Structure 1
Amino acid sequence: MKAEAWIFGVTALFVAVVTPAYWFLAEDWTGTSALVMTALLFGMVTMYLGFHASKMDPRPEDRKDGEIAEGAGELGFFPPYSWWPLWCALALGVIVYGVALAAWWLVIIGFTVGAVMSCGFVFEYYRGEHAH
């Protein structure tokens, strides 16, 4: 994780150097504050990664003598296809459409359908073909 910490650290330093130059050239409060926040957030991620990199054993990709075979094994769970995000997005679309038209009955229908679809999305791996 040291490489990742260095990448975020260099980016934070770059943004911190660019921020005053941006202010003097553009005199824009919005962009300057966005750049300051960006530098602070990159710095926060740098500190987090640097802290954890010093506390953990180096990964195979962090060592010079690391082999590809050392990183083999299960990488995690990758879900198969799912139709639930489509139905959740359509429910959100109904809600937004109802708000735009000030048709509150449509918003209520959208929230009701959205609650059912969100439950289906959350619990899709507890039943059916891909149940655990």
Structure 2
Amino acid sequence: MKTNWQLFGGLSVFYVLMSVVYYYVGGEAVGITGMILAACLAGMVGFYVWFTQKRIGRLLPEDRPTAEIAEGAGELGFYSPHSWWPLPVAASAMALGLSLLIGWWLTLIALGALVISIIGFVTEYEKPLPDNAAH
């Protein structure tokens, strides 16, 4: 993780420097704003990874140059083998984007659909507790 936060921190500094250079060269406000936002995004990711690495407190195998490939083996997480939820999430996100062109009334509908589909996507594998487990 050390390499990751250094990479994103360096990328953030690079974007800030390039936006300053772009400003002095005579770039338009949209490009400068985009590069500053990219710097903020890279900085947020770098800070999150740095904070997570400090919380974990140990070096991962990919941080050590002498680590073996087998040290990084193991379960990486759970990935859904088949899920229909990305389809309504994408459709409602597309509707939300188009609603900014069509009208505010569609924005409310698309935002509601997006919230419901994200909740469904996140809680797809949540299992409710049995009635007797609450005590």
- TM-score, length-normalised on structure 1? 0.62
Residue 19 of structure 1 and its aligned partner are, at CA, apart by 0.9
Residue 33 of structure 1 and its aligned partner are, at CA, apart by 2.3
Residue 88 of structure 1 and its aligned partner are, at CA, apart by 5.5
- Residues 3-82 of structure 1: pairs in structure 2 closer than 5 A: 3-55=3-55, 56-82=57-83
Q: 1:85 to 1:26 in 2, by over 3 A?
A: same
Residue 93 of structure 1 and its aligned partner are, at CA, apart by 7.0
What is the aligned partner in structure 1 of residue 87 from structure 2? 86
Residue type matched to 1:18 in 2? M
- In 2: Cα distance, 1:87 partner to 1:101 partner: 20
Give the superposed CA RMSD.
3.9
What is the aligned partner in structure 2 of residue 130 from structure 1? none
Residue 126 of structure 1 and its aligned partner are, at CA, apart by 5.6
Residue 57 of structure 1 and its aligned partner are, at CA, apart by 0.4
What is the aligned partner in structure 1 of residue 132 from structure 2? none
The answer for unaligned runs of 5 or more in structure 1 is: 128-132
- In 2: Cα distance, 1:91 partner to 1:51 partner: 33
Residue type matched to 1:74 in 2? E
Residue type matched to 2:7 in 1? I
- In 2: Cα distance, 1:124 partner to 1:88 partner: 13
Tell me how many residue pairs correspond in the alignment: 121
Residue type matched to 1:60 in 2? P
What is the aligned partner in structure 1 of residue 131 from structure 2? none
- In 2: Cα distance, 1:64 partner to 1:23 partner: 40
Residue type matched to 2:61 in 1? P
Residue type matched to 1:69 in 2? A
Residue 78 of structure 1 and its aligned partner are, at CA, apart by 0.7
User: Which deviates more from structure 2 when the two are superposed, residues 65-74 or residues 79-88?
Assistant: 79-88
The answer for unaligned runs of 5 or more in structure 2 is: 128-135
Give the percent of matched residue pairs that are identical in Structure 1 and Structure 2: 36
Residue 120 of structure 1 and its aligned partner are, at CA, apart by 5.8
Residue 125 of structure 1 and its aligned partner are, at CA, apart by 3.3
- TM-score, length-normalised on structure 2? 0.61
